Amino acid sequence: MVSNCDSCRFYGHGLFNCFAQYSVSLNILQILDWLLTLRMEVSLIWKAPWTLMKGLYLVNRYMPFVDVTIAVFCETQSSHLKRT
């Protein structure tokens, strides 16, 4: 493999395109959901005192943005390294 990162492997051009399109569409849906519920989230969650449930909610709410961004970056880098 080109990359040392096990999660950054390139499995072929067709699968990469499928993964990239799937990731982009999921990110768009995630951003839409975030925008539609942001007003409620600000009033109900952000202004509330810190509790375990608030922390778990925020991790659960925002970790997918981080995960998908890292996954797309890894796939993009490994496909770029494969071509060079």
Q: Which two tokens stand for residue 68?
A: 């998908």
Task: Please provide the distance, in angstroms rounded to a whole number, between the alpha carbons at the two ends of the chain.
Answer: 13
Q: Specify burial of residue 61 (Cβ count, 10 A radius: 0-12, 13-18, 19+).
A: middle
Q: What is the mean pLDDT of residues 54-59?
A: 95
Chain mean pLDDT for the chain: 77
Residues ≥6 apart with Cβ < 8 Å to 51: none
Residue 20 lies in a domain: no
47 belongs to a structural domain: yes
Rounded to an integer, what distance in angstroms lies between the CA atom of residue 78 and that of residue 2?
A: 7
Say which DSSP state 50 is in: P
19 lies in some domain: no
Taking the whole predicted model, whether its pTM rises above 0.75 is answered as no
> Do the domain assignments include residue 83?
yes
- The total domain count for the chain is 1
- 17 within domain boundaries: no
Would you say residue 3 has pLDDT above 60?
A: no
pLDDT at 40: 94
Q: Domain span at residue 60?
A: 36-84
